[in-house]
Structure 1
Amino acid sequence: MTEILTGHDVKTYRDNGFLVVEGLVGDELVDRARGFVDALLASDATDGVGEPEPEDPAMIRRVWAPTSRDPVFNEIVEYPPLLDAVSQLVGDDVEFQYSKLNIKAPRVGSVVEWHQDFAYYPHTNTDLVAVLIYLDDATRENACLKVAAGSHRLGLLSHEVDGHFRGKIATLAGVGVDESSVVDCEAPAGTAIFLHPLLAHASEKNISDRYRRAFIPSYRSADAFPVYYGPRAAHNEPNARLLRGRPAKVARCESGHWRLPIAEAEFNSLYEVQEGAHLRSGGHKSSTGYFSHEVAPTPA
């Protein structure tokens, strides 16, 4: 393993809950990934591939399971410099967990409310890391990622509204997050942003005339296991695979209490549950679980 990250980088991640590394993913991979998205957006064959943008149904705001759509995304998932950096953060035994592709279309890109990824998929420990990789230059105008530095130290926060999981933190101030800690992660295409699973993060509407697209592979230590399997919650697991090291023979557990993502009705995406669309659309009522926000719906 090559040490891609410096000791200062690792400390920054531990202290702040995120780390921005420019130029980590090569131009050739970024160009190919962007080319796939360009071709997809130019085609009429997006049904079942992604989730439509409510403000413009001709656009899509998320591509389901991009690693199953084009080989370039698996190449990025297994890109040695990226895996080297992940290993420095979660340990030598690394599993791929899931991936997604978020698309912020010009002038319409959906808002993502403040949330912690761990709220959607609690595990036995928190050695998980999502890596947001910009495929376009990202600025505040085209809705770059926003993070609340240090918020991972607050533990798992409530993502409930009226007693049911809604996938968002009501207000940062209400849970003790200093607004001055918020950082706009402006960076060029090819930048990788490493996110601790308890880091509060969000993104605004895209008010520019440019896309902001991001591929997000997520990884975990091999000894981190899901602790909740509600409806569809387990659908990421068939695609999880060991990338480095050895499979775990034990589950490493951190002490604490993890709130479970039990929603009032089943949902298919982070956007849907945050917006409350799962309730307005007459989603199947559920007191036992949720629909995974990272995998495509099973075709009827």
Structure 2
Amino acid sequence: MVDEPQLASYAAAYAENGYVLVKGLLDRAEARAYREESHALIERLNRDADPTWESARHLGMGERTELKHCHDVQFHAAAFSKLLVDPRFTDVAAAVMGTPNVQLHHTKLFVKPPEKGSPFPMHQDHPFFPHAKHSVGAAIFHFDDAPLEKGCVRVVPGSHRDGPLVHQAEGSWHLPFAEWPLDKAVPCEAEAGDVLFFTYLTVHGSGVNTTSEARTTLLVQYRDPADRPTEDLHTHSLGQGMILRGVDPTSRGTAAAAM
């Protein structure tokens, strides 16, 4: 469990900068176990599809990069279901949003392969699933170390205060390359067990993994259940709407239950 003063500190940093890196939320043994679970899942799926954004190809240093991934991981392995409701995670998510209730939006597992793990250009997550109150946030669980050379996440502190920005849609939503260069953003280097929390309005991206080891992360997008989407986008994720902490104050009983 995370104590109240620490939660308040995380919430203050999140409000000020649009992100906060929580060190050691998982211990290294836990992170290693989740890394093994992640790579076993990717191997079981044995998918050839590469989810690398076409807009990211120009960041690949002239060589074709690759990415491995899986959506909805909690439907593939019970270990991830447990992680989604772990109070160490959900208490921080609630604190940074400022609500006692945390609702799942979706999950994605990403493995950046050694030497050619794909980058992501600078963007906000907002265009993919806009919401009325902008409560949506992300938690990136690091299951192995993510130094700069592994293509760690980079952020623009305070960018969330500018609200939704105009994105280019070619090859997936991204901000203009010339105006938002990846190498000018702040690297969020992390160790196994660290979790990076950021709002869906925070401008972020990541570089190429040029090392000899994979970079393994789990992305969990969450929201206040009272915050509703403004467009019918990204609604296909399994488990969307699952309450991870607290209750859904907007839920209504069935007609039969009311009788």
Scaled by the length of structure 2, the TM-score of the pair is 0.82
Any conservation in 2 of the 1:173–1:179 contact (CA below 8 Å)? no
CA displacement 1:31-81 (0-9 Å, x = unmatched)? 22111233245x474138x64679789x75212221111111111111111
Q: Which residue of 2 aligns with 1:103?
A: 111
* CA distance in 2: counterparts of 1:95 and 1:101, whole angstroms: 18
Q: Which residue of 2 aligns with 1:46?
A: 46
Q: Which residue of 1 aligns with 2:255?
A: none
Q: 2:231 aligns with which of 225, 228, 231?
A: 228
Cα distance, 1:178–1:135 mapped onto 2, change above 3 Å: closer
Any conservation in 2 of the 1:4–1:85 contact (CA below 8 Å)? no
Q: Which residue of 2 aligns with 1:241?
A: 242
Correspondence 1:173 to 2:169: no
Paired residues for 1:264-283 under 5 Å? none
Cα distance, 1:214–1:229 mapped onto 2, change above 3 Å: same
Aligned length: 240
Scaled by the length of structure 1, the TM-score of the pair is 0.72
Q: Report which structure shows greater RCO (CA 8 Å, sep ≥6).
A: 2
Any conservation in 1 of the 2:121–2:182 contact (CA below 8 Å)? no
CA displacement 1:242-283 (0-9 Å, x = unmatched)? 122231339xxxxxxxxxxxxxxxxxxxxxxxxxxxxxxxxx
Cα distance, 1:8–1:244 mapped onto 2, change above 3 Å: closer
* CA distance in 1: counterparts of 2:129 and 2:51, whole angstroms: 24
Residue segments in structure 2 that go unaligned for 5+ positions in a row: 58-62, 252-259
SS at match of 2:82: helix
Q: Which residue of 1 aligns with 2:77?
A: 70
**Distance apart, 1:119 and its partner CA:** 1.4
Q: 1:200 aligns with which of 196, 200, 203?
A: 203
Any conservation in 1 of the 2:10–2:96 contact (CA below 8 Å)? no
Q: Which residue of 2 aligns with 1:275?
A: none
% identical equivalent positions? 26
* CA distance in 1: counterparts of 2:101 and 2:119, whole angstroms: 35
Q: Which residue of 2 aligns with 1:294?
A: none
Q: Which residue of 2 aligns with 1:86?
A: 93
SS at match of 1:193: strand
Q: Which residue of 1 aligns with 2:60?
A: none
Paired residues for 1:24-35 under 5 Å? 24-35=25-36
* CA distance in 2: counterparts of 1:203 and 1:24, whole angstroms: 22
* CA distance in 2: counterparts of 1:152 and 1:114, whole angstroms: 13
* CA distance in 1: counterparts of 2:221 and 2:201, whole angstroms: 13
Any conservation in 1 of the 2:154–2:186 contact (CA below 8 Å)? yes
Any conservation in 2 of the 1:94–1:220 contact (CA below 8 Å)? yes
Any conservation in 2 of the 1:142–1:207 contact (CA below 8 Å)? yes
* CA distance in 2: counterparts of 1:195 and 1:40, whole angstroms: 26
Q: 1:115 aligns with which of 118, 123, 143?
A: 123
Equivalent residue letter for 1:169: L
**Distance apart, 1:97 and its partner CA:** 1.3
Cα distance, 1:73–1:238 mapped onto 2, change above 3 Å: closer
Q: 2:214 aligns with which of 211, 216, 219?
A: 211
| Aligned-residue RMSD, C-alpha | 2.9
In the TM superposition, structure 1's runs of 4+ consecutive aligned residues that sit over 4 Å from their partners are: 52-57, 177-180
* CA distance in 1: counterparts of 2:115 and 2:171, whole angstroms: 29
Residue segments in structure 1 that go unaligned for 5+ positions in a row: 251-300
* CA distance in 2: counterparts of 1:40 and 1:236, whole angstroms: 18
Equivalent residue letter for 1:32: A
Any conservation in 1 of the 2:182–2:207 contact (CA below 8 Å)? no
